Amino acid sequence: MLTVALPKGRIAEETLEIFASIFGEEFKFDDRKLILETKDFKFLLVRNQDVATYVYHQAADIGVVGLDTLEEQGLDVIRLLDLKRGICKVAIGMRKGEKLDLNKPELKVATKMVNITKKYFAERAVAVDIIKLYGSIELAPLVGLADMIVDIVETGATMKQNGLEVVEEIMTSSTYLIANKNSYFEKKSEVLDIFEKISEVIDKAQ
């Protein structure tokens, strides 16, 4: 039996579809239930930012989560497989026409991805004032809260509609299958079996 942590929403649905196509049966959570038990799997429905936490503490053996979230949280889990879904960028955005000048003193950066932002600017030896927000990041430069943002860009529509544009891409992200380190050894055959089956589905979709 493998416990699988899935992030509520589209990624959980897509992942359950992958499981359905592998095993030829439907995997569906009842209404508001957060656990779905089948013969071989126990699926947990958690918040995206909590997937790696469940896996790190071995409350789940494996999980599915975006690389951006993994990089931000830095928890020690095994990155088993790139599912090549949920592709997006983590990028620096500024008001249209503005240029990124790393020599400017006291740059203010609004983001929900504090660690990725810290690392990016530290590697360039640039001191920045990071303002942590929890959402609607694109608003910050429009009202003078920050000079720039570090945020997820998928279609680019949110930035565009708010008069912002990407001035620098920090990383590309996609959804990953992750595993707890102990589970990987204790349940190696089960973990590798599902890894191989999911790999096949991903490769076929390419």
Query: Using CB under 6 A as the criterion, which residues of the chain lie in contact with ligand PRP when the complex forms?
Result: 135-138, 151-158
Nearer to ligand PRP (CB atom), residue 12 or residue 80: 12
CB 12, min distance to ligand PRP, A: 15
| Closest by CA position to 203, among listed 9, 53, 52, 18 | 18
Neighbours of 57 (CB within 10 A): 10
Rounded Cα gap, residues 175 and 187, in angstroms: 22
Amino acid identity, residue 134? Y
In the complex, minimum distance from the CB of residue 34 to ligand PRP, in angstroms, rounded to a whole number: 21
User: Between residues 45 and 139, which has the closer beta carbon with respect to ligand PRP?
Assistant: 139
CA–CA distance from 162 to each of 15, 140, 159, 190 (Å)? 32, 10, 5, 47
CB 187 within 8 A of CB 181: no
Q: How far is the CB of 157 from ligand PRP (least distance, A)?
A: 4
Q: Shortest gap between Cβ of 97 and ligand PRP (angstroms)?
A: 19
The least CB distance from residue 136 to ligand PRP, in Å, is 5
CB atoms within 10 A of CB 69: 21
Nearer to ligand PRP, 105 or 135 (CB): 135
112 vs 187, beta carbon nearer ligand PRP: 112
Nearer Cβ to ligand PRP, position 2 or 166? 166
